[in-house]
Structure 1
């Protein structure tokens, strides 16, 4: 029987490769244990380490092996709460495997100690100059011809990890076929896609709160609120940069060339450029700055509180952007009373 490390620690933002590594491990364990393999998935902000350890030690009473996926372990900060994992690491169950995961590249040192350096791996995102090559290769392997400009525009759609790139590329191929032009990608973004971060951003730009909330309700079925926020924040950050350029006197005709030079990313599609300019007219620089602070606060909060709070927090966040334009951030409006605050461990400036 092959042996497996009792504890693995998978870090980093590259969710696609991280998921592939987990699936490979699961497939190998299923070959050994078959249908008797018990599989469990937990988040560190919902389930403390002592309960995970209890499952690892006792779960195999009902099956021949146990696989536990323990995610968001960056939330484990205190040594006393991590202590059960260290004790377990000293005397693990031979038929149990624990995979700890985090989107961060560093976590509390005792977590690394529990897994051991040999079982710790960081999954790095691709550099900007690597994404286009990876995507070109993916289309080529599927015998799809796509214009270089189409790839540039397509990359505006997706988070920088291979999981999202692969899923969205498959949808594009299914919609267009084997020959894809820039215009095809443009049409796909605005007419053929399911509700997405892009359509959510469009609703924010249109200041349509009801539509934004409807889109969010659909997105949370398949995506975590943290991922939704990250996708939205990337576009809001670009809007903030655009507003800085406008306030610096850059003429509209040169805005996107200057934006590409500063950020390293070209806004290829005319519709995307039009959407950004519309947003810049509706959200002033001061409002973009307030929204930027609010987004950072909300991200920190979502990574700290129980999952049951996430949907409400995301709804409050959208209300604060669209109706209040970020002005209720305490950092943006000193002295204002916090309208809403979660009494948790991380100070939060309120939505």
Structure 2
């Protein structure tokens, strides 16, 4: 393996394809070196100097070391300099993977990346997402109408791995040979017995914190990633905010819902509930809380994500209520 192949920069927001690349890399390392020891460094929590001796002396421990540096855009100047020094003579017994959801890194790191393997995983285009849904359903013997694809894409995370997982779950609810319609999508999202991000939003719309926390626990037990749940809630709170602003501009209620892309009786009923229970200011605050939560879960270790998310739900539901117009 050349010096260049000991250091990888994997950037961009498409975490599904990035994870596939990473899994292939791990398989290749295992074939070449046998057992590998995987370690993680989280910028703002750890420093590169803490793990540098482990990288440099990996051969003493017998196993090949794979170090993943998360949120690389947050690395301190000191860590960036140390990383540059290490890259001049990387250990043949270690592989370093620098990860970021950003498409560009600070200048020092970009200069370093130009001498090593650098891959950017862009967010999928709408036609790519639609094709992925069609292909997933076709493999299971189902098909889907164009309007249903459009609605489905509005309501699930845009990350490829989440799209495939949700499309596979959708197929399970309908018999082989079935063509999935827009009404089927609504029934799947709002009336299936499985908890999902839309049932979670329905609990939040009622300000039912206990039910929201139970739903969150169920979602996490299904191996749902917290950042995917946050993305789904953000989409719905932003739609709620859009409806509120349209109503202030004297749109009729049905017209406002239609303009905001709220389709299906189940989703409309949930939005009506949220309109009764949240003011415009509270909705804006909920969006700010979720954006902040998303940033925090990307900065901290995975085991802390449920706690960070739970505290966010508490702040959204139990924030002192704003005065309402009579």
- TM-score, normalised via structure 1 length: 0.80
In structure 2, the partner of 1:293 is: 288
Deviation string for 1:124-178 (max 9, x for gaps)? Answer: 1123344223322332344322222332232233111101001111112223233
Residue 54 of structure 1: aligned partner: 53
Write the mapping of 1:147-296 to structure 2, written as runs, cut at 5 A: 147-178=145-176, 179-182=178-181, 183-192=183-192, 194-221=194-221, 222-259=223-260, 266-296=261-291
Write the distance in 2 (CA, Å) between the matches of 1:23 and 1:305: 22
Pairing 1:41–2:36 present: no
Is contact 1:10–1:101 with CA below 8 Å preserved after alignment? yes
Aligned to 1:66, the other structure's residue is in SS state strand
2:11–2:101 contact (8 Å) kept in structure 1 = yes
SS in 2 for 1:126: coil
String of CA shifts for 1:192-214, please: whole Å, max 9, x gaps. 36333222211101210111122
Q: Distance in 1 between matches of 2:51 and 2:135?
A: 40
Contact 1:9 1:112 in 2 (8 A): no
SS of the residue 1:121 aligns to:
strand
Q: Distance in 1 between matches of 2:219 and 2:186?
A: 21
Change (3 A) 1:306 1:20: closer
Distance 2:296 2:66 in 1: 29
**How far apart are residue 230 of structure 1 and its match?**
3.0
Matched, 1:321 2:320: no
Deviations 1:316-341 (A, max 9, x none): 321221122686xxxxxxxxxxxxxx
Q: Retained in 1: the 8 A contact 2:5–2:116?
A: no
Other structure's SS at 1:97 match: strand
Deviations 1:46-91 (A, max 9, x none): 3321233333222332335222222222322x21132221111011
Contact 1:290 1:325 (8 Å CA) reproduced: no
| 1:228–1:30 Cα change, 3 Å | same
Cα distance in 1, alignment partners of residues 255 and 249 from structure 2: 12
Unpaired stretches in structure 2, ≥5 consecutive residues: none
Distance in 2 (CA, whole Å) between partners of 1:214 and 1:13 is 29
Q: In 2, Cα distance between the equivalents of 1:71 and 1:102?
A: 6
Q: Tell which has more relative contact order, 1 or 2 (C-alpha 8 A, sep 6+).
A: 2
CA distance in 2, matches of 1:156, 1:104: 23
Cα separation, partners in 2 of 1:66 and 1:283, compared to 1, 3 Å: same
Is 1:30 matched with 2:30? yes
Is the contact between residue 4 and residue 116 of structure 2 (CA under 8 Å) also seen in structure 1? no
The structure-2 alpha-carbon separation of the partners of 1:73 and 1:326, relative to structure 1 and needing over 3 Å to count, comes to: farther
Q: What root-mean-square deviation, in Å, do the aligned CA atoms of Structure 1 and Structure 2 show?
A: 2.7
Q: Which runs of 5 or more structure 1 residues have no equivalent in the other structure? A: 260-265, 328-351
Taking a change above 3 Å as real, the CA distance of residues 193 and 85 of structure 1, as seen in their structure-2 partners, is: farther
TM-score (norm 2): 0.86
Q: Structure 1: how far apart are the matches of 2:165 and 2:227?
A: 19
- Tell whether the 8 Å contact from 1:56 to 1:66 is kept in structure 2 after alignment: yes
SS at match of 1:156: helix
Q: Which moved more, 1:302-311 or 1:46-55?
A: 302-311
The answer on 1:66 being equivalent to 2:41 is no
Match of 1:134 in 2: 132
User: Secondary structure of the residue that 2:10 maps to in structure 1?
Assistant: strand
User: Any conservation in 1 of the 2:71–2:99 contact (CA below 8 Å)?
Assistant: yes
Distance of aligned partners of 1:306 and 1:28 in 2 relative to their CA distance in 1, 3 Å threshold? closer
